[in-house]
Chain A
Amino acid sequence: MEFLTPPPVRRLTGEESVTEPLGPTRGLPAPPGNGNGNGNGNGSAPASPLVGGRRRIASTPLAIDRMQAEALSVAYGRKPAVDSVSLPIRQGEVLALIGPSGCGKTTLLRSLNRLTELNKDVSQSGRITLDEVDIATLDPTALRRRVTMVFQQPNPFPMSVFDNVAYVLREQAARRPKRAALRGAVRDALARAGLLDELGDDLDHPALRLSGGQQQRLCIARALAADPEVLLLDEPCSALDPQSTQVIEDLIVRLREDVAVVIVTHNLQQAYRVADYVAFMYLGRLVEYGTAGQLFRTAREQRTREYVRGEFG
């Protein structure tokens, strides 16, 4: 597994930053027609995922190294799930994790904010750093405030929509804020996740009675409200319609300037659309890591080429 770990701070130039969207207008979401594959796994991954355009809203931001996994291995009991993976996570660039089911994407994501520790029989080796500090030395709660996760299964709390988003604001605030004071922040988070219009003013709606896709967007809104530095998204669009997928993808691209975003997806088109860098995992190993263009067009590894072409997985 050979790849260059780029130096921590650099300016993206060249290929990625100038990739023009194939959509009608630069900076606008790709035309809906490209969203056909959204929400499906890679089962329907087209022969060429490069049909859609890359989403770019502003010119390329700075890229700063935020997190770094170094020879990270995670095992459930004696069954390895992640096998000596090294990988940088940068603010300013979106990293997409792709790979067949069960290859350890979720496990890798969970180890980034130490949620793997909740499972008693998980053993872990290697090092993860956040801003050059080993996260094992941080308080897990403090770490998770900075590195927040949206889960594969939508898991809104059994409360109202409002309380779901306000939960994190209330619990993280030094002094418990009033409901009125939270209103703005809650509506903003919901709007960014594309849920506000749908719900209208009914923020007291029980969260568990939303549809699956609405629940997922609620979970994203909840994570946004936490204002993290690193956002881990585990298949955030797997239950979403093309329209909402677009909203989320736009959001991700916009977020990357302030937040380091990692997204796990089975949708290769989506990975191509939103990600600057793509990591392909297979059986717990990081097979290939590179810019989206390189990985999808000129992958070095045979496996990657096959997967990207939809030949296995």
Chain B
Amino acid sequence: MVEEFRLDTEPTRDSDRRAELMLGALVCLVVVLLLGMFAFVLYQAWPSFSHNGLSWFGSRGNVDSQIQAIFNSGTSLGHEVYAFHGWPLIWGTALVVGGAVTIAFVCSLFVAVFIVEFAPDALRRVLEPVVRLLASVPSVIYGLVGVFVLVPLIGNHLITQGSKASVQGIITLNGYSLLAGVAILTVMVAPVMVAIFSDGLRAVPRGWIEASLGLGINKWRTVWKIGVRTARPAIVAGTVLATARALGEAVMLSMVCGVVSFAPNPADGWIFFVEPTRPLASTIIAFIDDLSTPPMRHTLYAIAAVLLLSAALLSFGGWAAKQPMKRYGART
């Protein structure tokens, strides 16, 4: 009997083990792929970083002419130029992403609260699918709106001849600007945030909301103190995802932010907002055709490495932000 039992099950148990091992191997493969990506990109980026040291992140001279020099040196073997000071790109990225994510965060939080708790039923039924649709619209379409609607608007109505003249010889103000980038990027990432935030808010147990209302706390405070508070993990997740999207957005920003690597200067007064800029990711797109020139290639991979590490940092930041929230969370 026992023998029979063995005979019957051993092979299947073996195949089960094999299936588990194969799935495990697949998972390992994906992990290795990610590690490989870090390794490969950093390896390619190394020459640029090692030549510049920390000044890679600093600000000295004009980035565009540095890139030109790097490209030109590609033909002269042994005399490659690597000098690169990427501050204007980093500053541009920080401004565009920071601005868009900040505005989108505040607006999305209010909009999500509105949709989940305050909107009339009819409006809610329309809004929920619309939010999801807007969250999945390809970024290039948002870029198109920017180019056709926003950029001319800024170029023709916000920028005066006087302000154009004031920066003559340095940059041209034509509507392709920080403002356009921030505005369009806000519109692009806000639906992502709204979608994730409102999922989080919807998942808040009704009992907690009712308990608070039943204690005589008005609905706004209840939603804010109990609903939003409980949905914090979702809010962090949505913000991290939206920031990652904004950080990596290359094509759309290259359509609306302009083509020169200029670091908008807050000291310029309100012109600051209409000054052009070019974030890191757009820079890669702008020079992608020069990838075959070795020094250029290493420089572009260095930019990619900065993006990759920022994304990793962001991911880690999100994880770290969620840790203290677990303490009072639901029993697991």
A residues with CB within 8 A of B: 113, 115, 118, 120, 140-146, 148-149, 151, 153, 155-160, 167-168, 171-172, 206-209, 219, 222-223, 226, 228
The docked-state distance in angstroms from the alpha carbon of A313 to that of B138 is: 60
**Given A158-B330, A159-B328, A206-B327, residue A168 in contact with residue B208 (CB < 8 A):** no
Contact (Cβ within 8 A) A151 B213: no
Contact (Cβ within 8 A) B331 A148: no
- Among B208, B215, B327, B330, the most chain A Cβ lie within 10 Å of the Cβ of B215
B170 to chain A, nearest CB (A): 51
State whether the Cβ of B60 lies closer than 8 Å to any Cβ in chain A.
no
Q: Mark B319-332, 1 if CB is under 8 A from A, else 0.
A: 00000000111110
Residue of B nearest to A149 (CB): B214
Contact (Cβ within 8 A) A115 B216: no
Is chain B's binding surface mostly helix, strand, loop or mixed? helix
Residue of B nearest to A225 (CB): B215
Contact (Cβ within 8 A) B328 A172: no
Contact (Cβ within 8 A) A120 B214: no
B residues with CB within 8 A of A: 121, 205, 207-208, 210-219, 221, 225-226, 229-230, 327-331
Cβ contacts under 8 Å, B219 to chain A = 141
**Given A141-B217, A167-B225, A168-B216, residue A155 in contact with residue B211 (CB < 8 A):** yes
B323 to chain A, nearest CB (A): 14
> Which residue from A113, A168, A208 sits with its C-beta under 8 Å from B328?
A208
> Which residue from B208, B226, B331 sits with its C-beta under 8 Å from A209?
B331
Contact (Cβ within 8 A) A118 B328: no
Residue of B nearest to A145 (CB): B216
Contact (Cβ within 8 A) B216 A142: yes
Contact (Cβ within 8 A) B331 A208: yes
Contact (Cβ within 8 A) A148 B214: yes
Contact (Cβ within 8 A) A144 B225: no
Cβ contacts under 8 Å, B226 to chain A = 157
The docked-state distance in angstroms from the alpha carbon of A153 to that of B207 is: 8
Contact (Cβ within 8 A) B215 A226: yes
The docked-state distance in angstroms from the alpha carbon of A155 to that of B207 is: 6
Contact (Cβ within 8 A) A223 B121: no
**Given A155-B207, A157-B226, residue A207 in contact with residue B328 (CB < 8 A):** yes
The docked-state distance in angstroms from the alpha carbon of A151 to that of B213 is: 12
Contact (Cβ within 8 A) A219 B211: yes
The docked-state distance in angstroms from the alpha carbon of A135 to that of B67 is: 73
Contact (Cβ within 8 A) A151 B210: yes
The docked-state distance in angstroms from the alpha carbon of A209 to that of B205 is: 16
Residue of A nearest to B218 (CB): A141
Cβ contacts under 8 Å, B210 to chain A = 115, 118, 151, 155
Contact (Cβ within 8 A) A167 B214: no
Contact (Cβ within 8 A) B121 A172: no
